[in-house]
Homo-oligomer: A and B are copies of this chain.
Amino acid sequence: MRVGILGGTGPLGRGLALRLAATGTSVTIGSRQAERAASAAAEIREAWPDHVLAIDGTGNADAAEGDVIVMATPWEAAVPTVREIEERLRGKVVISVANALVREGGDMLALIPPRGSVAASVQASLPDALVAAAGHHLPAPVLGDLGRTLVADVLVCSDHRRATETAMALMGQIPGVRPLDAGGLAQAATIEAFTAVLVGLNIRYKAHSTLGLWGLDGNGRVPPRTAVPSP
């Protein structure tokens, strides 16, 4: 399986590319400028010479040839980016990880995009794709460093069963991640906005914390958390 990450040259896109490739998945980083994506891919490969990482970089249109697409552009670029390549995304699962946040003084605040969330705006622009929202709360600095242990619950929501399952399977590949089905795409508004609260906590407490739900285990209904590697 090949994962294409649109707008994947930012910290979250790079971190996801690294963590997914480290599990053996082929990843293509996309960018508006193909050469920027190729550089990002080379930088990641060179930063982890002891790992075999199948990461390359190209333009967003070519990255959209992947089997599963991750939408990781800045939030304001999400709709224009997917509109340009709408035909290539038909029938595909598109996982939106973008957040609309703004820093105002010491506070991180959530913006409310049209339709309530970036993911809902992307779905409206891609009526023939299956959009899920997932991964917003993962801290990019931890994702981007294989030496750091990642333990996180990842909330996934979508109006398409196949998109939820695909996003949960993809995120669940990453060691330490437990994907959770958080319901329909309407939940993306709150899930995206909550990133501002988490980033604010991380700034205030000088940490890179991750979201966890305590007490969800033990009744056999929760997807297993993949193994947590020792750092």
Question: What is A's interface to B at a CB cutoff of 8 Å?
Answer: 106-110, 139, 142, 151-152, 155, 180-184, 186-187, 189-191, 193-194, 196-198, 200-202, 204-216, 219, 221-222
Contacts and interface: CB of A to CB of B under 8 A. Distances in A.
Given A196-B187, A197-B155, A197-B187, A216 B221 contact: no
A180 B201 CA distance: 8
B187 A205 contact: no
B200 A183 contact: yes
19 contacts: A107-B187, A180-B201, A182-B197, A183-B204, A187-B197, A187-B200, A190-B196, A191-B197, A194-B194, A202-B216, A205-B219, A205-B221, A205-B222, A207-B215, A207-B222, A209-B213, A209-B214, A210-B214, A211-B213
Contact of A206 (B201, B211, B219): B219
Nearest to A222: B205
A35 to B, nearest CB: 35
Contacts of A204: 181, 183, 221
A6 B211 CA distance: 31
B201 A182 contact: yes
A209 B211 CA distance: 12
A107 B201 contact: no
A215 B210 contact: yes
Contact of A215 (B184, B196, B209): B209
Contacts of A142: 215
A157 to B, nearest CB: 8
A148 to B, nearest CB: 9
A217 B194 CA distance: 20
A204 B191 CA distance: 16
Contacts of A187: 107, 196-197, 200
Contacts of A198: 213
A200 B215 contact: no
